[in-house]
Amino acid sequence: MTEQTRKGFHAEIDEISDLIVQLAARAGDAVARATDALLRYDLVEAQQIIDDDDHIDVAAIEVEEKCQSLLALQQPMAGDLRQILAAMWITGELERTGGLACNICKGARRMFRTELPPRLRGLIAEMNEEAIRLIRLSVDSYSERDAALASALHDIDDRLDSLHRTFVKTLLESSRTHDLDVQPSVQLALIARYYERIGDHAVNISDRVRYMVSGIMPWRAGIARHRIREERHESSMQELATDPAEMSSNGDDKAD
């Protein structure tokens, strides 16, 4: 790239980063509004959040198209390429977060007029706060290129996981004491899972940030374990194919 081309390229990268921050703000706002609609039994607001999800989808597509254009026209390498790939991956995680906010609203509609026990209401509010905090921290790590913060999100997410487990336990207790019917209990279990998944998407974003900054894939250990299993399986199959005694034994077993 010429110096002028490189400046233009990085200006476009900065624009994409700004769009992702805005997209994250919209996704976080959708989660907060969905929780408010759920706790206030507000069907009008729930429908508005579902309709507004189109704006998140449009914003996500805009980011993806800009990334695709840079890949096609600039053919970036190394760190520049990782930035564009990370932007596309992160956009997908945020788009799905917006979709989960819609799912919370749909669950609220299915259990309309169900009075929630105070303990469950409190846990929903806590899960909401924690989910939004994880979204914010994950995008902060992206905008600041902070690999240390990104690494910490795996541990920070433990609190949301704990709240989810507590919610499910409390929900089962409420169901046993007949405080809640089966249908709302099922919907609440799904809603709790949506909050937990929002946290997972935030952690996924942090993994992409670590890759973007360092070039090291955080999921490399899983890939290595998979390769070891594949190699062991292949080795076992080769041993079976070259051991006449083993093959004879297998044949005798089959005959029986």
> Tell me, what amino acid is at 193?
R
> What's the fold here for domain 3-243?
Methane Monooxygenase Hydroxylase; Chain G, domain 1 (1.20.58)
Q: What's the CA gap between 165 and 191, in Å, rounded? A: 13
Dihedral class, residue 112 (left if φ above 0, else alpha if ψ from -120 to 50, else beta): beta
Q: What's the CA gap between 162 and 166, in Å, rounded? A: 6
| pLDDT of 116 higher than 50 | yes
Q: What's the CA gap between 103 and 38, in Å, rounded? A: 11
Average pLDDT over residues 199-208: 96
- The domains of the chain are located at 3-243
pLDDT band for position 8 (cuts 50, 70, 90):
confident
CA 151 from centroid of its chain's CA atoms:
15
Phi, psi for residue 146 in degrees, rounded to 5: -100, 95
What pLDDT shows up at residue 179? Answer: 77
Is the pTM higher than 0.85?
Answer: no
Tens digits of residue pLDDT in 211-249: 999 888 776 555 555 666 777 767 766 766 766 555 455
| pLDDT of 254 higher than 50 | no
